[in-house]
Amino acid sequence: MKTSLRGAASRYLPALVLLAFSGATMANTLNQNVSWTIDRSGTTAKYRVVAYGDSIYAGYNGSISNAGLYAAPTVDAEYLSALWNADIESVRRAKSGAVANDVYRNKIVAERSYMQAASTRVVTFEMCGNDGLQARTAFKKQTGTCNYAGLDAAVNACKTNVAAAMDYINANAHPNTRLKVVSNLYYPGFNADNVQSSCRDATTGQTVNMRDRFLPAIVKMNYWMCEYARQKGFKCADSFAQYMGADYDSNGDGVVDADALRYVAGESEASYVGRITGSLRPTLRDANFKLVSSSSSYDYIQSDDVHPTYLGRTVSAGLWGGSSGTVAPRYTSFSGGKSPVWNTAGHERMGWALSVYNPASP
């Protein structure tokens, strides 16, 4: 039985898309900035979560004028509001279509003032998805002899800018900041990429399976996000493991698949890449069919096969400027640290993955 979120999520998407474009092929970038506060009844203290990123943290839904309110950082703000019994301002400074260097220079550096506020308690960021998507698009267009340099360049750009972003946040976030966390990459289009290339490998003379070629690149990016986080005082929300592995033990190794796929602090790149692309490769599943049990799944990816599904309303974000406001928490408490919908949509799952690192007090 598949409990699909595709239909549920679509109810919250705009009926008219003014300009159709995909994060995978977007020629231009689009600022999508919002600031919404989880306004908890009976509270006076107010703290801030600052999130920098691309279309993922933007809550992108195919529209140039609005985005999902409950993108992952705002979901995390709900968890913090309950944990701290406080109002939490979720500031999302995002740029749909931006590659890692763009997020670093034009969001994290240029808009550092948002994390320099004394109310800041959490700073989070995500990047590199568009580097990978653009390299994938370029590779799919190749004919003749395959050139893998674009994929390698995307990995190196990710490593460089993730490290720079962490160093900059460490130097510029307000001293009151209690948590710094990066979210790594899931693999959008995992099933769709299971096709042969139009180009041919220089050594074998054969076409290559594109998923087999792209997976190691994504995994290397993810390794360095989590490894740099370990080295530089950040936490790593392993969205790859949360999206791509089942919430039960499908291969009988005694470990829930999503847990087995997680980065292990201190492991080598070779060990991590070997696990994900080797022994645990059979446990990977397309996030359109996130298995929460052996008989039930949810759709974590929107119909563009790129962006996470979300629940709830949309807010103005994009072409005509961002928006701000307040909203009551959907849930006032969380049994076992999880909302009733924690695993039913992509942004809900990512927000929960961020929340597990929340400090007990502000």
Residues near 315 by beta carbon (within 8 Å), at least 6 away in sequence: 34, 36, 66, 67, 68, 69, 323, 325
The answer on pLDDT for 18 being more than 50 is no
Say how far apart CA 241 and CA 259 lie, in whole Å. Answer: 7
Q: What band does 5 get if pLDDT is binned at 50, 70 and 90?
A: very low
Check residue 338 and give its pLDDT.
98
* pLDDT at residue 14 tops 50: no
In contact, 260 and 267? CB cutoff 8 Å: no
User: Is the pLDDT at 6 greater than 70, yes or no?
Assistant: no
pLDDT at 332: 87
Here the tokens at position 137 are: 């698009």
Q: Is the pLDDT of residue 7 over 90?
A: no
**pLDDT > 90? residue 26:** no
Distance of CA 110 to the CA centre of its chain: 21
Is the pLDDT at 300 greater than 90? The verdict is: yes
Name residues whose C-beta falls within 8 Å of residue 180's C-beta, 6 or more positions apart in sequence.
Answer: 122, 123, 124, 166, 169, 170, 173, 233, 234, 235
Domains and CATH numbers, the chain: 6-355 (3.40.50.1110)
pLDDT at 248 (0 to 100)? 98
Confidence of residue 276 (pLDDT cuts 50, 70, 90): very high
pLDDT at residue 54 in the model: 98
What integer pLDDT is reported at residue 320 of this predicted model? 81
**pLDDT over 80 (residue 71):** yes
Q: What is the spatial distance between Cα 57 and Cα 35, in angstroms, rounded to a whole number? A: 12
Asked if 174 and 120 touch (Cβ cutoff 8 Å), the reply is: yes
HSE, side-chain direction, 13 A CA sphere, residue 149: 3
State mean pLDDT over 236-256. Answer: 98
Q: What average pLDDT does range 307-333 have in this prediction?
A: 94
Residue 213 has pLDDT above 70, yes or no: yes
Percent of the chain scored above 90 by pLDDT?
91
Distance (Å, whole) CA 245 – CA 46: 36
pLDDT grade for 39, boundaries at 50, 70 and 90: very high
Q: How confident is the model at residue 41 (pLDDT cuts 50, 70, 90)?
A: very high
Q: Give the Cα separation of 362 and 178 in Å (integer).
A: 7
Number of CB atoms found within 10 A of residue 140's CB: 14
Determine the pLDDT at residue 25: 37
Tokens of 351: 């927000």
For residue 343, pLDDT beyond 70:
yes
CA–CA distance, 220 with 158 (Å, rounded to integer): 9
CB atoms < 10 A from the CB of 89, how many? 23
Is the pLDDT at 78 greater than 50, yes or no?
A: yes
pLDDT, tens digit, 9 for 90 and up, residues 108-161: 999 999 999 999 999 999 999 999 999 999 999 999 999 999 999 999 999 999
Beta-carbon count within 10 A of 282 CB: 10
Q: Quick one: what percent of the chain has pLDDT higher than 70?
A: 93
Residue 283 has pLDDT above 70, yes or no: yes
SS3 258: helix
Q: Is the pLDDT of residue 15 over 90?
A: no
Residue bearing the bigger pLDDT, 262 or 332:
262
> What pLDDT is recorded for position 321?
85
Token reading at 195:
């096709």
